[in-house]
Structure formats: structure tokens, C-alpha cells
Structure 1
């Protein structure tokens, strides 16, 4: 019996284990209905925005990465997402050759019980972000697809049919399996990307995580896995938190990492709004400047008078980037849902918090004991931007 089949059997076993403890990475648990739920804003409702990138240093200034992003709900648990780039060039806006950095349909849903949460997602199309459900601390260290496709090199990202199953038991134990059928011009057949057991738990002011099983390999090309394990130990809190990662996979060097999470303040909001990043190769500063944004399908900004709140969907939007400061992905995690949502007779009000720089996660194929210069030489540095949003549903 192969490891993936064992994982699925174990997932079913965990699904019926009674809960003996509660894992909570955040002190507040969102209100949530039990049973299956499929977060839904309403047919044809969504958001869009346009932005442009800049890269500059003492003797350099480039405009680049003109992009249009759109997200729309189609049915309960079904949505469409796209990020269209104006060309396939790294550091110029010259030429108009529209290209989908991301473009896919996603069917997804969650089952909430007293024992834990089962999450399922099927995405069909082109993707540059794999995390589902909301990433834990170890997942934040994951490699972000590179930019070789912008310099005439190999294609990056993931194209095909991507299936993800995740079960998080309230003891802190869980299982995660994801697989892809490469398609839409990408060869490779059907492959398991990750299949591992995880454990997550808070111990006072410390947070511990481990993944054991088939884990993603960090060097490109992405989409490969090896058996092994990783361990994370960090602090907890509502302001700055720090943590350390150790990872060892078969046929790979040992990786170590350090992660810093930031509170929302004037500095992190300013950096998050424009996806600010310092890059080393080539050296310079990168930003993705918002130009215009809008709402689709009649989503409102203000609560109407004499309206009664009947439901709510909480979400968090994430963007990740690392190489050359190219912000090329976007994903809205639907965190929780309760009450009446998505009905044609409901008024949807969207409340957005500011974007901010949430996390910097640095990882290197060297041990800390080898010295900071050696460690820094080959390190990768995924950054994560976050924006929390609440969709409220009202009846008059």
C-alpha cells in the first residue's frame, strides 16, 4: 500500500476520532456553522483591480508588470480567479502580449464538526499559489514560483487540475494531500505534490509545528517532492513573532529558516499597499502600485439603513513573492461563514482592512552554524502580504 493511500485512510480515521484538545493559532475563533459549508457571496459578485510594477535603484528605473486582477463567485463553493499580465517581459511595459499569470476555476468547501475541519479544493487552470486551506507557519516558507518565463526560460507556476484535501483535528494532528494533473501545455502526467502528516500546537508563549511525509522540494523546477520532515518553533503573540525552521528531505541538503511576522502599523501598511521589496539580484527596490479597483455585482461599502444582519463571510487575501520582487499571485482564503449568505434578496456589504506586510520567511540550504555570510549567500526570502476582509449580508 503506497503512502498516499495510507494518508487517505488515516484521514478518514481522524475524521471520526473524538476531540480531546483544541488547537488554536489565534486567540479568537470565528463564528462558524457546523456541517458542510461553501462560502458564497452571490452569483456574479466579486472584485477587480489594476496595478503596475516599478523597479528602481541609483542608476535604474523600470516600469513593468501591468496587471489586471479579477475574482468572481459563480455558485456556492465555485469561483473564478484571474491575473492578466500585459506582456511576458521582466522589466518593461513595451509590447502588448497579454498573458495569464493565473486563470482558473475553483470548486471548494469545508466540513466543520466538533472534532475538526475537512477542507477540499479543486482548481482547474493556471496557478502560482498552492496554499489551501490557510497556510500554517511552515507553509509560509514554501518556495514561490520564479520568473524564468519572463526571460525566455522554462515555464513557471502550475497548470492543470490541482486537488487538495486537508483535515485538521482539534488535537493539533492532521493530514494534507495535494496532487496535480499537468495540463494546458505542461507535460508531466499526474503527480502527488505533497502528502504529509502534521501536528500544530501552542505551548504557552511558544508555537510548535511539524510536517512528516512527502514534502515539496525547494529548488526549481517546482512540483517535485521527497520524503522527510520539517520542524518549526516560534513565539506567539499579537505583535512581532519570530520562529525557526529546520528541514531535512531525502536527496536534499538540510534547510534552516527564520520567520518574522509583523503587526499592522504605519510602516507595514505602507509597504503592503505597494508590495514593497528590496531585491539583491539585480539590486534595487520593487513595488506594485495600485491604479484602480472596483466591485462587481452590486457589492456595497456602507450598511443600508434599517437593514438586519443575517450572515457573514470572513476572508483573508494573501499575495506572496520573492524573486525580483515580482508580485504575480493572489488568493482570497475564505476563513469562516455563518447564517444566510449568497441569496439574491440579500445586500452584501464589504469591509476591508488595509493591506500590510505580514511576514518575511527566509530559508537557506545551510545551517546557522556555517556563518551568516554563507547562510545569506544562498537564502530565499518569500514575503507575504495580507488583507483581511469581511462580507456582511443584510435583509431589509
Structure 2
């Protein structure tokens, strides 16, 4: 990307899970961001093949809408097509990768394979203007505490079993809460009515966490409630109890990472990151430490094509791109710390 030509555009396609999005950015601004979500019925999840078919059907319209939003008149304005390489669910990832490859081959331009997790971080850093924060990345499939050092985002702590967002999704399924706009949002709204705390285990190991035991406990109580065998705790109580417990774990481990690295800046990213209760609890911790909190809303926390396109701009400028005629690699397992962060040259983690 020519740094003197700010009209050059990169298109980003995100489709690692049940959300699919197309974003278009220049080096200076976001000019298009379209998105659609596959929803299962209340009480149900979603199968990767169903999600992939949804993405395949909707992507042509999303791409067309994004082109219209960006007012692209000449295809030569587009210099690259970016896509989510991983991590994520195999079939949806493939749908996005193939669409990106077809578009890149049509336009005769390179592709930029983007790590989904890194894209969340870079979008969050850009929106909140946080420089070198401790990053709490929380979503349906990932829970990690990250920080940059030596050209990589190192994982200081993470879940040892399932992601925190998966806990919310599973409880929503047990309680048959709406999947629109998301099961996590339904849990968040119902939790506001909770008054009685259901005791749950608290599993923190240094800066790592474990949530499967908590999920087993809350699911058992939820099933007892739905079958009317035990109505001592309402659905709102269970949602509130799950939030308060797992968020306390996330705050504790994030604060420990801040203490170890001597960093006074936190960034929350990922779909669960737009939960206002999590942001409120994190703000209280940051206030105690005189630290800065960076947080965004659903436009940027939830999976979107703009974050892929934005990260691709950084990668493309540093020579990271591929030939679409040589294939479009994607993988369900793509660790955050596997990515060489070439665009943050010279930055170093304090005291490391």
C-alpha cells in the first residue's frame, strides 16, 4: 500500500463462526462494514455446515453492499483482499476464504490471511487509542490475556478448557433464551434482574482460568429450574451469578497481568467484551490502580470484516500477503502467539 495514496482500499472478509462480515478500509479510515448473523432456535446451538451455507448465501450481498457503502467505482482502487485464516470453525472459515480467493482472482490482486484474534486486538487498539495495553480477549471461542513483546502478542493467561462466551451460550441454551441478537446479550439483559447469588466454584490458577466446572454447576441448576424441580433461584439469578463469578475471575487475572508487567492500561476485545457489566467491573479495578481502560461497543467487539481489513492494511504495508492462484489456506487452530507482528517494530514489554 502506497503511504502517499490514501484512496487505496483493502477488503476484509470475516467468517470464523456464526457471524459473517465484509469491511473495507483505506489506510486512514473505515469506509464500509456490513455484517449478518446465523441464529439457531432458542435452546439450540448451530452446526458448522449450516453456518457455512448461510455464509455462502449471504456473502455476495454483503460484498455488494460494502462496495456500495464504500462508493467504489473503479476496481483498481482495491489493492488486496483479506480474510480470516483462523482460528474458528472449519466450514465457515472455508466459506470466507473461498469467497476471498474468488474475489482476489477476479480482480487480480493478492490476498492477506489474517489471524482472527490479532484482528480483534488491532481493531480495539485503533478505536480506543490504547498504545501497549494488557489485552483481555473474551469471546465465544477464546479467552486470553495478551500483551505485545518482541514482535508477538504473548499469551500471559488463558482458559484451560472452554471459553467464557461458551458458558453464556450454554446457559442461554439451557434456559431457552433468545439467540437474537446473541445468547450472551440475552444473558446480560436477564442478569440485570437477578437478586440472589447462586454459589459457583472459582477456578483461577495464576493467570489461567477454568470454566467447565462452573458450566456444569450452572447448567445443572438451570435444568432443575426449567423442570420445576428447584425454583429457589430464578433464571435472572442464574444469569447474574454466572456473570459476577466469571467476570471476577477475568478481572483478577487481568489485574495480576498488569501487576507482573507494570502496565497501567487495559483493552477489552472480543464479543463478550461489549458486556457493560464486565466493562463496569474492569473500570472499578482500573480506577483502583489509576489505570486506563479501553473498551468498545458491539460495532467493533463483535466479529466484523472491518477488523480483518484494518489488520490487513498493517500486514500488507509490511509485505505480508499471498498469491490467490496458489490457494487460500485456513485453519481451525491458529494461536495468537504464532503471528509475527511486524508492524509494531521496536515496541517492547516493560520490565521484560
The answer to whether TM tops 0.5 is no
Task: Decide which structure has greater strand share.
Answer: 1
Give the TM bin, normalised by the shorter chain.
Answer: under 0.3
TM-score normalised over the length of structure 1: 0.24
Task: Decide which structure has greater helix share.
Answer: 2
Specify which structure has the bigger relative contact order, considering alpha-carbon pairs within 8 angstroms and separated by 6 or more residues: 2
